[in-house]
Amino acid sequence: MTDKVRVRFAPSPTGSLHIGGARTALFNLLFARHSGGTFILRIEDTDTERSTEESVAQIIRSMKWLGLDWDEGPDKGGDYGPYFQSQRLELYRKEAERLLKEGKAYYCYCTPEELAARREAMMKAGKAPRYEGLCRNLTEEDRKRYEAEGRKPVIRLKVPQEGQTVVEDIIRGTVVFENSVLDDFIIMKSNGMPTYNFACVVDDHAMGITHVIRAEEHLSNTPKQILVYKALGYELPKFAHVPMILAPDRSKLSKRHGATSVEEFRDQGYLPQAIINYLTLLGWSPPDGEEIMSMEKAIKEFTLERVNKTAAIYDVKKLTWLNSHYLRELDLDYITEQVIPFMVKKGIITQEDAEQNYEYIKRVVAVSRDRSKTLDELADAIAFFFKDVEEYEEKGVKKHFCKENAAELLLKGAEALEKLEEFTHESTEHAFRSLTDAMGVKAAELIHPTRLAITGRTVGPGLFDIIVLLGKEKTVSRMRKAAEWIKNNEKI
């Protein structure tokens, strides 16, 4: 084994990449980059019934989108491939046979029905159900008889029935497991597929993994894996089990707590930078307690020693807060490019408009982006620049359109703007202020209904920024249309 750090993220492709998995991948990546090591992606697809190609594609897509770039793995290759367990079956078979030969593993012919019946009997007798090693000492004759009956054997590891297996975990410290609670677990299934605890060890060794960084839910598998390491004569890697992510009520995070998969967040308009920042702080914190953390900064400061032992609490509000931060701070062209697909999807613009009016969209985004929390919200918030106002916000109507002079002010304001030759922030603001001064009313009495008339909303960017961007023609016609609307609605 080399001294150089080699870590892996090893998802089972049985669903989409969730924030828990993304966080595990991220911690592996941060650790690898911090130590100048290698980050490997290995697909654990030996569960043929539950693994799907679509999940593989989705996991890969999500990781790329988040910027979790692996050095070795699918799409990349590497010296330790293949990186799909389904393509490494020969290796598991070979290692299992070695254990059989060395008397460290054995064939077991018990059928699932027999095992279930025995489990039930044990439970009835008040014992913890476990495999009692019935096939440990079969003779050649027994085996032949079972084979003749057509039974397909599994291979089980001989687990010591006494003593302890100790996990030295970088995050959790020393965790001791009594071997008596373990049984001779299956390493190869009757269909010739390895079990997770076996394939994982064979691969972690074959791929030269130095640190196994994974979710805490696997801690109970680690003593079994250590027994496999020992039986195979492999050197142990270092283990680090990262804490669980719980919902705010401390229950297991699930669908009912809202979006949990990376693609759902993407579709809701979250930025990868915000998600990465958020996940970085989910169970880890930098020495200076800083909340805004780019991946580069996290790489510099990340150590496993600073990972918390206690569960991290998932808080979508913090993620959303970070998202608004990145929406405001990242490069304007980048944010513009990100919001365009949302606008196209909502039918606000076409892809062609996006290409032709890119500079205009960018100016709109520039004045609007600091008020939205997600790209989705931003797309909605700027829709009025591209589409006519169909509806006026109800509370705005009550507040600003129901005033006696609202329609008159809108018409006069439209007239004043129409006359302007130069249509700038200064000239439009000046026109409004002169008009309200001359009429002896407050500027706000014109500004508020105008905002509602031209945007349909009561809040948004500075009014004169909007007016200038929208242009004279649209502004004036929307003000007149609103005045008309007020008159019609007065009659009703």
Binding site for ligand GLU (CB under 6 A): 10-12, 44, 200, 214, 218
Q: How far apart are CA 413 and CA 461, in angstroms?
A: 19
CB of 31 or CB of 107, closer to ligand GLU:
31
Is residue 188 classed as helix, strand or coil in its secondary structure?
strand
CB of 209 or CB of 343, closer to ligand GLU:
209
CB 365 within 8 A of CB 332: yes
Positive or negative CA dihedral for 316, 319, 321, 323? negative
Closest CB 281 distance from ligand GLU, rounded Å: 22
Q: Which residues of 394-429 are buried (b: 16+ CB within 10 A; e: fewer)?
A: eebbeebbebeebbebbbbbbebbeeeeebeeebbb
Rounded to a whole number of angstroms, the distance between the first and last alpha carbons of the chain is 84
Positive or negative CA dihedral for 73, 75, 79, 83? positive
| Residue 67 CA: distances (Å) to CA of 31, 48, 253, 337 | 15, 29, 24, 17
| Residue 8 CA: distances (Å) to CA of 26, 41, 213, 469 | 10, 6, 8, 50
Closest CB 191 distance from ligand GLU, rounded Å: 18
Closest CB 316 distance from ligand GLU, rounded Å: 24
- The answer to whether residue 399 is catalytic is no
Closest CB 379 distance from ligand GLU, rounded Å: 35
Strands 154-157 and 186-188 come out as antiparallel
CB 44 within 8 A of CB 11: yes
CB of 44 or CB of 216, closer to ligand GLU:
44
CB 242 within 8 A of CB 214: yes
Which pair of structure tokens corresponds to residue 386? 């591209």
Closest CB 218 distance from ligand GLU, rounded Å: 5
CB of 59 or CB of 410, closer to ligand GLU:
59
CB of 225 or CB of 324, closer to ligand GLU:
225
Closest CB 269 distance from ligand GLU, rounded Å: 28
CB of 10 or CB of 26, closer to ligand GLU:
10
CB of 55 or CB of 455, closer to ligand GLU:
55
Write the burial class of residue 175 (CB in 10 Å: 0-12 exposed, 13-18 middle, 19+ buried). Answer: middle
Q: How far apart are CA 125 and CA 128, in angstroms?
A: 9
Cis omega before residue 449 (within 30°)?
Answer: no
Number of Cβ atoms within 10 Å of the Cβ of 232: 19
Closest CB 219 distance from ligand GLU, rounded Å: 11
Q: How far apart are CA 201 and CA 181, in angstroms?
A: 21
Which pair of structure tokens corresponds to residue 158? 């001989």
Which pair of structure tokens corresponds to residue 226? 């250590």
Catalytically annotated residue among 101, 124, 255, 419: 255
473's enclosing H/E stretch is helix 472-491
Closest CB 322 distance from ligand GLU, rounded Å: 26
CB of 215 or CB of 344, closer to ligand GLU:
215
**Catalytic residue list:** 255
